[in-house]
Amino acid sequence: MKRFLSLLAGLVICASAFSQVPAPVQITPAEGTPNLTKELSRKIGGKAFAKKTAALPAYAWEEAYELTVTPKGYKVLANTEEGYFYALQTLKQMQTCGTVYDYPRFQYRGFMMDVSRHFRDKDFIIKQLEALASVKINQFHMHLTDDAGWRIQIDKYPRLTTHGAWRVGDTWQEWQDGGNKYSYEGAPDASGGYLTKADIREILAAAERLHITVIPEIEMPGHSRETIYAYPEVGCMEGARELCPGKEATFELLEGILEEVIELFPSPYIHVGGDEADKRNWKECPDCQARMKAEGLANVEELQSYLIKRMERFINDHGRQLLGWDEILEGGLSPNATVMSWRGTQGGVEAVSQGHDAVMTPGRYCYLDKVQDAPIYEPEGFGGFLSVDVAHSYDPMEGMPEGAEMHLLGVQGNLWAEKIPTDEHYEYMMYPRIAAIAEVGWSQPDRKDGFRERVTRWNDNLIAAGYHAFDLHKEYGERPAYKNGVKHLALGKPVKYNQLWNRGYPAAREATLTDGICGGWSYGDGRWQGFLTDIDVVIDLESVQPIHYVGGTFLCEPGPGIFLPKSVEVWLSADGENFEQVATIPNEIQEPCQSYVLFGTPVTAEARYVRFVAHPTRGFHFLDEVVVN
């Protein structure tokens, strides 16, 4: 660990004069060779700098700094120790003399680490905190509990770790494929682990030194199968995945857990999850139905809201604030809760419109479990494509109502670990994209130019320091068809749909399959059209023409439930009524796979109408263009 700390402490970007990540507010270059080792002076809390920054919001005032680097050494002005610390992070990236005046755009700049799906130990976590601090990330959200494993010691409920922290299957996928079986500590088939309270205290000490707040997340009421395995009395019935809000035993357990979590973590926020609760058991559970009747609750959404509001009162009574995923908006939001918006941006917009604080973490820009380069060359991801440039393009203020800055706290990158079994793979997915999120949170929008060059240098030094980051020099880039499009006989021709697309993935609706615009590496980029039924379309070429080829490209991403068709059929007609089948193209790809597969066939015929039919296997299938030549 000491080797990593010393390497990070000496990181110096050696190419251009000013190439900091995140980009500062203002830089004034000067002549000379800098001395980065000798501190000439530091003034923390000086009246002159306090006056200069007086108009800033309180959080920006606290983190503001002015750094001057000369041939003789460097000087720092700051209002607080935080500002001084951030000046030193910038100093490590200086190459020439000059003055940097800087402060953050947003107060919350976060990263979420999932230690449930695959356990990460304290040394790995502390190593990541060092890198996060170098780009001024100041919030570290720990996803400590989920179905795949409970990862924090709770003295009052020891079975959470003796049983809930251990499963059958080294990887999450093996555990899933094996029927989600749990084990117990010390068993021959047990895989997992957990952080002791001593481990947590070491992590917290490192985070405090790095001016990072560690936010614990205890999932409720969903994602709780491991909790119910350890303590079955808090489930509705056998096989339940959600905690039972109808039973007082559930609240007794949750409050006992949170008492120890609150005692351990100084964070002002306690994250309670609140996402993706199934709720179907609640409709049949007599305890839940009795609770709904007693409390006058109209539906199971309000029952979840009852649980969240009750836990918020407990958390508030202990001097902390509740933070949860945007599902906590459903059924009525707790009065003082803060929303973390992940299902797009609407949850954040709704929260700030209601006067609640929000942290933006929409999947399109902030979910780092997506592959970051061409999926055909990358380790398997979970649900699409997100390059470092796309992550950097996000603006949390986009679409926000007037006055949103009062409640929009900032931005967070999330790295879920279902498909990431090793520490090396986790770092590979984390860097350099978390640096893009960091700049979104810290830098003013007009200061973000030149990011690609700056982040490449930062990332090169991270790799030299022993991190397994994705190498930007070897990036393949976006799908060529996405960048270049395609020209063919059916371009701009009308399309009749015998089965409509799924309303969640309309792309360009009727124009999609003949507009010459191809999808990229992500099914959610607005160019891929999604179907849960057969694809059955007829293209009118508007005149009889010689046809030599018909084909279309499909996605396969098993993680989010996207599969290839089992077969594709091509039919031709001169009059639009009498069709002749000219080809059947079988699926010859072994699944599961992560690929982009062309189903195409040569044709020798003349026709005006082309019918293209794809038969699904299961789940979604996505198509971006039917090419006719």
DSSP string, 507-522: TTGGGGGGSSPPP-S-
- Which residues are designated catalytic? 146, 223, 276
Please provide residue 118's backbone torsions phi and psi, each rounded to the nearest 5 degrees: -140, 125
Question: Residue 489 has which token pair?
Answer: 């006989």
> Exposure string (b/e) for 459-481, b if CB count within 10 Å is 16 or more?
bbbbbebebbbbebeebeebbeb
Residue 408 sits at the vertex; the CA angle it makes with 525 and 106, to the nearest 5 degrees, is: 95
Q: How far apart, in whole angstroms, are the C-alpha atoms of residue 104 and residue 87?
A: 12
CB 142 within 8 A of CB 217: yes
| 592 upstream amide cis, omega within 30 of 0 | yes
Alpha helices in 465-516 (DSSP H): 480-484
Residue 418 sits at the vertex; the CA angle it makes with 415 and 419, to the nearest 5 degrees, is: 90
- Across 169-264, the runs of DSSP E, i.e. the strands, are 190-192, 213-220
Q: How far apart, in whole angstroms, are the C-alpha atoms of residue 314 and residue 568?
A: 57
Chain position carrying tokens 């279309």: 552
CB 40 within 8 A of CB 73: yes
Based on its alpha-carbon atoms, the radius of gyration of the chain, rounded to whole angstroms, reads 27
Chain position carrying tokens 């360009």: 508
Q: How far apart, in whole angstroms, are the C-alpha atoms of residue 115 and residue 177?
A: 20
H or E stretch at 77 = strand 74-78
Q: How far apart, in whole angstroms, are the C-alpha atoms of residue 22 and residue 555?
A: 35
Dihedral of CA 20/395/103/216: which sign? Answer: negative
Question: Residue 375 has which token pair?
Answer: 């999926």
Q: How far is CA 487 from CA 509, 516, 535, 571, in A?
A: 19, 6, 22, 21
Report the relative pairing of strands 321-325 and 65-69 from DSSP bridges.
unpaired
